[in-house]
Amino acid sequence: MDTSAKNQISGSTVQLKLDSQEQEPLIPENGHSAFNDPAFINNRNSPVHRWTPWIAGYSSDFVRHALNKYLIEPGVVLDPFAGVGTTLVDSFLLGHNSYGFEINPYAAFVSRVKAGAYKVSTDSLNSEMQSLRIFLNTAMQPGYKVKSKPPKGFKTRFEFYSPKILKKVLIIHDFINQIQNENVRDIFRLAFASTMVKYSNYSYEPSLGARVSSGKKNFDDFPVDQAIMTKLTEIVEDIAWLQKNMPSMDVPQISIINDSFFNYSKHLAPESINLILTSPPYLNNYHYIRNTRPQMYWLDFVKEPKDTKPLENFNFGNYWQTVREKENISLNFSLPDSNLADQLELLRNKNQEKGIYGGNGWANYAASYFNDCYRFSIGIKYLLKKDGVALVVLGNSILQGIMIPTDRYFGEIAESVGLELVQIDVPRRTRVGNSIIQSNVRVGKTESRNQLYESVVELKKL
């Protein structure tokens, strides 16, 4: 599509062509979105989805709306960046087979537990919870010798748990480790992992950081057992709900692939997917690997820092910290009618006096991100059946004061590999900022006219 052409977005006609300077976000003033609000926060009260807090992704309402709109009959759904399994769970409940790629082992674990939860007996869970109560009556008394140990490789700047809380956590682990039923044991592990930061001396702001650094007091003590029991009770209720709301047809299949999506050809056949529904990491440098370090270490998915390096290197887009000191990372593809390369050059020349905190490092980061957008687009074309649809939820970014319309650039990239850009819809016209925008070190003066928004990029396989 000619970048000077007009495109219908959320009911408003807007120009796609961008100037090489800072520009207005493409957000309609009075448009109407074809999609429900994708904000993940809406999952906090949804059965199954509420089990684990997650910083990103989209809501169950959004997924269900999209599935019902694009799949008239049972089909095959793919989420290349599955996170904690929102797409997979709702695809299952609506009778669709689904695949999910997730490189983060903790998130993949959560997805697997959710996917198999309907098989777990609520009677068995209730029985094990009662056993935990009896166990704690003895283990919390003086004289009990704790068998479990904190993960040796897990290091933090400040004490992660106070001594009193640490002892309670280790006692809980003593109990979990002796549970014989693997599925039940994983439910207990999930209950611990989803609550473990709540009673630590760290918190999400939204990145993981020490409580004292955000003006909060450390915990000397905390009712750890109550927090975990509350989560387990919630999970038991949701499993009962899940079993009651199972599809009436044959039970759909869910496959969670703990691997980078870019290895798709090793796992999936070409033209095997009806609908791709996903939200890749945004261009906001939110470090999913670092922010789930507590869960990965305490659940024994990693043992030392070097174990996380492959996860960082094969993540979608390189983190700013890994590319900021490189001389120049350029685009690996050509977009003759786009100003993307010009925007990256503009960014590269910003705040050069700040060294690695200036524009060059952020331009490297953005170029790496769009290179992966290109690879992602090729994967979409490879996997979709003819007339298949991909819905990709993206947010724009502001780097060094420059607004980067990620959705529009991704649409241009997708068109360059032969996909049809059907529309870019903006269901969420304002979005909370992040550390890149708020940090004085990382950001130049941000124009007040720039704002963060969230889009759904709809693509079609011709």
Task: Examine residue 433 and state whether it is found in any structural domain, yes or no.
Answer: yes
What b/e string do you get for 286-325 counting C-beta neighbours within 10 Å, with b at 16 or more? bbbbebbbbbbbbbebbeeeeebeebbeebbbbbbebbbe
3-state secondary structure of 388: strand
3-state secondary structure of 73: coil
Residue with tokens 């087979």: 97
- Position 331 scores a pLDDT of 96
Domain count, the chain: 2
Task: Examine residue 143 and state whether it is found in any structural domain, yes or no.
Answer: yes
Instruction: Enumerate residues 6+ apart whose C-beta is below 8 A from 131.
Output: 175
- Position 38 scores a pLDDT of 65
Task: Examine residue 200 and state whether it is found in any structural domain, yes or no.
Answer: yes
Co-location of 448 and 322 in the same domain: yes
The parent domain of residue 196 ranges over: 122-244
| Angstrom distance (rounded) from CA 450 to CA 399 | 11
Say which CATH number the domain at 430 has.
3.40.50.150
- Position 45 scores a pLDDT of 79
Q: How many residues does the chain have?
A: 462
Co-location of 338 and 240 in the same domain: no
Rg from Cα positions in the chain: 23
| Angstrom distance (rounded) from CA 357 to CA 451 | 22
Co-location of 27 and 155 in the same domain: no
Co-location of 232 and 263 in the same domain: no
| Angstrom distance (rounded) from CA 48 to CA 54 | 13
- Which is it for the CA torsion 81, 83, 87, 89, positive or negative? positive
Task: Examine residue 115 and state whether it is found in any structural domain, yes or no.
Answer: no
Q: How distant, in Å, are the alpha carbons of 95, 193, 281 from that of 248?
A: 8, 32, 35
Compute mean pLDDT per 10 residues along the chain, 462 residues long, and list them: 30 31 39 63 81 84 94 96 95 96 96 96 98 96 94 95 98 98 98 98 91 95 98 98 88 95 97 97 87 96 93 86 89 94 94 90 95 98 98 93 94 98 86 44 42 92 96
- Position 18 scores a pLDDT of 35
Co-location of 229 and 253 in the same domain: no
* Biggest CA pair distance of the chain: 76
Task: Examine residue 299 and state whether it is found in any structural domain, yes or no.
Answer: no
Task: Examine residue 79 and state whether it is found in any structural domain, yes or no.
Answer: yes
| Angstrom distance (rounded) from CA 39 to CA 380 | 24
- Position 445 scores a pLDDT of 40
CB 380 within 8 A of CB 262: no
Does an H or E element contain 366, and which?
helix 359-383
- Position 12 scores a pLDDT of 28
Co-location of 208 and 261 in the same domain: no
Co-location of 28 and 164 in the same domain: no
Co-location of 229 and 142 in the same domain: yes
Predicted TM-score (pTM) of the model is 0.88
What's CA 386's distance to the chain center, in Å?
Answer: 28
* Interstrand relation of 6-9 and 12-15 (parallel, antiparallel or unpaired): antiparallel
Task: Examine residue 23 and state whether it is found in any structural domain, yes or no.
Answer: yes
Tell me the β-bridge partners of 101: 257
- Position 201 scores a pLDDT of 97
Task: Examine residue 163 and state whether it is found in any structural domain, yes or no.
Answer: yes
Co-location of 94 and 197 in the same domain: no
Co-location of 184 and 262 in the same domain: no
Co-location of 46 and 136 in the same domain: no
CB 373 within 8 A of CB 365: no
Instruction: Enumerate residues 6+ apart whose C-beta is below 8 A from 251.
Output: none
Co-location of 435 and 346 in the same domain: yes
The residue among 48, 57, 41, 156 whose CA lies nearest residue 102 is: 57
| Angstrom distance (rounded) from CA 11 to CA 7 | 10
| Angstrom distance (rounded) from CA 154 to CA 110 | 20
| Angstrom distance (rounded) from CA 52 to CA 190 | 8
